[in-house]
């Protein structure tokens, strides 16, 4: 058009064709056309984008990596090349006297990204220029321009289908381009938009004027873009995306290829669904990280002319791809199930190891505490016996004898030296002629003599020697005015307790006694995740020389079940139940009219066998009602406080 105008100008400038030769006219026309063509050529040489009329348009050739970058659009993730094809080329970009008619930018969206390594390093005030030079060399720096008008660009086309391949759909714009260029229609599904040429450069030979050859012009054509990231032209294109895609709160996620780690990237950019890793479609996905399977094409064998035509001779690419996807899903599900089983087994082993370590440490600590308490109780009892003897007046020989008995290291030696038979002696307080006999004092002295031990007289040598019984054994004798509560085995007990495995719950226990030596008992413990039941019988005995103590031997059967849930992964649940035989031995000790103590050991064969140490205390509120405390140290520790009723 410009050459035609120049030719008309020359004709009107030289109306007399006879006055000017034809070669001069041709030279003027060619010179004008060459200058116009040179200006147009410069305009087409910019590769990137330019901002015009409040919009951003792509121009020239963009790098392959930038073309393959996926950006969000109203119809989902699209490549830069697809977006540029939808927006169009915009008004003409021309360059006059070294300056473009619009600001130009090296990226695809007028300084708004996505960027290449070079364009990303520019400052915010010099993201674009008017002369096309680098930011450091240009005097016409421009800030970021307008963004793409994605709403208008994609409103004219239907929404692209999901990432799963769908055959038979056709893009209207692509169809019109195909009809204009006499090419076949192309599908617009996610699979159909892959591996298509991004930029095509054509060399156009202009028509010669009067036999003079013109300079070839270079034209750039942008068609349907590709999402395959091709780093180098010589590399083979990636197979089409064949994975799943999901939408969560309006955000699309695409299935990642096998081997992509679930951790990494920005927070929330990777999720796991049904054991598969999905990547957030926010424009930062590396195309090679998407799930792709190369379709297998089966070549149809030529049917025999004589044979009947087969209903289906070959498998299509879509069917082969679907079969391969199904096999891949099964393999991934199998691997996920194996990983879950290994994680559950590891969690179970770790939980058992930690429980065993805690139980061992607590048993050692509790054993030291019980030993210390026993020593303190023995010392207190010896002090109490000494105080009782000191309260008896007019018995100096008895007090001296008690002081001698307080040395526990000499008791065994004295008993070994004294091999003669003992006889019970009674300490009598002589009657005073000035006062009547005091029966209360005599009773206290008799009780003290009973607690300390008998007196032995050696008549052969003429010297009377008194040897007391062991202070420890004397401390185990029950005073006449103290209730023998350790022999009561007919009771009902309710104990709110806290288990190490299972949490808070309730323990109920009932017992009955028979023949003054046999005990029948049952116990049940219940929490939200743990249950145990024990039924058995026992034999108890109270020694005559240590009637503060009652020794109990128990035997029975026990059942237990519990559930363990991983705190970090609630899907990991372990459910165990087992039964076994229970054996135990315990001692009940009467401290005074208000307190009773209990301690013992036991062993149960359920849950691979477990030894335990248990104990507790009883405070007698009334003769029939006790306040009870109890603890157990073993595979499942217990601690509780409750009440006991004697019937």
Q: Is the pLDDT of residue 643 over 90?
A: yes
Range of lowest pLDDT (392-401, 575-584, 631-640): 392-401
* Closest CA relative to residue 63, chosen from 198, 192, 195: 198
Question: How far, in Å, CA of 105 to CA of 127, rounded?
Answer: 7
Lowest-confidence region among 114-118, 284-288, 359-363:
114-118
**What is the structure's pLDDT at 329?**
92
Structure token pair of residue 30: 């060619």
Lowest mean pLDDT among 480-484, 510-514, 521-525: 480-484
Q: How far is CA 509 from CA 34, 349, 499, 525, 533, in A?
A: 110, 32, 16, 9, 10
Task: State the DSSP code for 170.
Answer: B
Sequence spans of domains, the chain = 1-44, 45-222, 245-289, 391-475, 485-646
Tens digits of residue pLDDT in 183-210: 333 333 333 433 444 444 545 555 555 5
- The 8 Å CB, 24+ separation contacts for 131-135 are 131/98, 131/99, 131/100, 132/46, 132/95, 132/100, 132/104
Residue 622 has pLDDT above 80, yes or no: yes
Q: Is the peptide bond before 114 cis (omega within 30 degrees of 0)?
A: yes
pLDDT, tens digit, 9 for 90 and up, residues 215-237: 655 544 444 333 333 444 455 56
Least confident span in 15-24, 273-282, 319-328: 15-24
Specify the pLDDT at position 178: 36
**Predicted pLDDT of residue 597:** 96
Q: What is the pLDDT, as a whole number, of residue 246?
A: 87
Q: 288: pLDDT confidence band, cut at 50, 70 and 90? A: confident
Average pLDDT over residues 248-253: 85
For the ranges 74-78, 98-102, 430-434, 641-645, the one whose mean pLDDT is highest: 641-645
101-133 confidence digits (pLDDT tens): 999 999 999 999 888 765 566 788 889 999 988
**CATH number of the domain located at residue range(s) 485-646 in this protein:** 2.40.160.40
State what percent of residues in the chain have pLDDT above 70.
63
R_g over Cα of the chain: 51
What pLDDT score does 458 carry?
A: 45
- Is residue 646 predicted with pLDDT exceeding 60? yes
Tell whether the model's pLDDT for residue 263 goes beyond 50: yes
Q: Which of 84, 68, 48 is nearest to 285 (CA)?
A: 68
* CB 531, CB 525: distance < 8 Å: yes
Does this model's pTM top 0.75?
Answer: no
Helix (H), strand (E), coil (C) string for 131-158: CCCCCCCCCCEECCCCCCCHHHHHCCCC
């Amino acid at each position: 058009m410009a050459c035609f105008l120049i030719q008309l100008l020359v004709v009107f400038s030289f109306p007399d064709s006879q006055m000017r030769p034809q070669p001069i006219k041709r030279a003027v026309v060619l010179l004008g056309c060459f200058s116009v063509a040179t200006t147009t050529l410069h305009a087409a040489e910019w590769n990137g984008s330019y901002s015009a009329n409040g919009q951003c348009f792509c121009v020239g050739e963009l790098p392959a990596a930038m073309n393959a970058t996926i950006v969000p659009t109203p119809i989902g993730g699209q490549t830069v090349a697809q977006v540029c094809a939808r927006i169009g080329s915009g008004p003409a970009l021309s360059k006059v006297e070294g300056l473009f008619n619009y600001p130009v930018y090296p990226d695809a969206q007028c300084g708004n990204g996505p960027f290449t390594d070079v364009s990303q390093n520019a400052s915010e005030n010099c993201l674009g220029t008017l002369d096309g030079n680098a930011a450091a060399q240009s005097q016409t720096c421009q800030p970021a321009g307008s963004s793409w008008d994605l709403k208008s660009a994609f409103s004219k086309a239907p929404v692209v289908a999901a990432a799963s391949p769908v055959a038979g759909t056709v893009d209207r714009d692509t169809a019109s381009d195909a009809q204009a260029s006499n090419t076949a229609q192309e599908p617009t599904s996610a699979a159909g938009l892959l591996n298509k040429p991004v930029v095509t450069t054509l060399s156009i030979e202009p028509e010669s004027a009067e036999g003079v050859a013109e300079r070839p012009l270079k034209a750039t054509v942008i068609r349907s873009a590709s999402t395959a990231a091709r780093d180098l032209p010589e590399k083979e294109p990636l197979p089409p995306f064949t994975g799943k895609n999901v939408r969560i709160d309006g955000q699309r996620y695409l299935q990642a290829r096998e081997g992509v780690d679930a951790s990494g990237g920005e927070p929330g950019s990777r999720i796991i669904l049904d054991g598969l890793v999905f990547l957030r479609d926010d424009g930062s996905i590396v195309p090679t990280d998407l799930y792709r399977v190369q379709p297998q094409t089966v070549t149809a064998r030529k049917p025999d002319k004589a044979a009947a035509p087969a209903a289906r001779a070959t498998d299509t690419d879509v069917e082969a791809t679907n079969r391969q996807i199904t096999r891949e899903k099964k393999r991934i599900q199998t691997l996920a199930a194996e990983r879950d089983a290994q994680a559950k087994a590891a969690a179970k082993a770790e939980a058992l190891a930690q429980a065993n370590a805690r139980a061992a440490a607590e048993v050692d600590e509790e054993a030291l505490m019980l030993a210390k308490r026993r020593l303190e109780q023995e010392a207190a009892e010896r002090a109490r016996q000494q105080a009782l003897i000191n309260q008896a007046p007019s018995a100096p020989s008895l007090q001296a004898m008690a002081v001698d008995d307080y040395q526990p290291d000499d008791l065994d030696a004295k008993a070994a030296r004294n091999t003669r038979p003992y006889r019970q002696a009674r300490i009598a307080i002589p009657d005073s002629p000035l006062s009547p006999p005091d029966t209360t004092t005599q009773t206290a002295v008799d009780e003290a003599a009973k607690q300390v031990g008998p007196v032995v007289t050696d008549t052969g040598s003429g010297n009377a020697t008194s040897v007391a019984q062991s202070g420890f054994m004397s401390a185990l004798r029950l005073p006449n005015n103290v209730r023998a509560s350790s022999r009561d085995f007919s009771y009902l007990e309710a104990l709110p307790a806290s288990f190490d495995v299972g949490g808070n719950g309730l323990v109920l226990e009932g017992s009955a006694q028979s023949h003054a030596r046999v005990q029948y008992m049952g116990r049940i413990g219940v929490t939200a995740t743990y249950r145990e039941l024990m039924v058995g019988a026992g034999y108890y005995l109270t020694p005559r020389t240590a009637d503060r103590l009652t020794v109990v031997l128990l035997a029975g059967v026990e059942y237990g079940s519990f559930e363990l849930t991983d705190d970090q992964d609630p899907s990991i649940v372990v459910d165990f139940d087992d039964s076994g035989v229970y054996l135990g031995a315990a001692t009940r000790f009467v401290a005074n009219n208000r307190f009773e103590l209990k301690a013992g050991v036991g062993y149960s064969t359920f849950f691979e066998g477990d030894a335990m140490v248990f104990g507790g205390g009883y405070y007698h509120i009334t003769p029939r009602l006790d306040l009870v405390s109890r603890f157990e140290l073993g595979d499942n520790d217990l601690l509780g406080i409750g009440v006991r009723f004697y019937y």
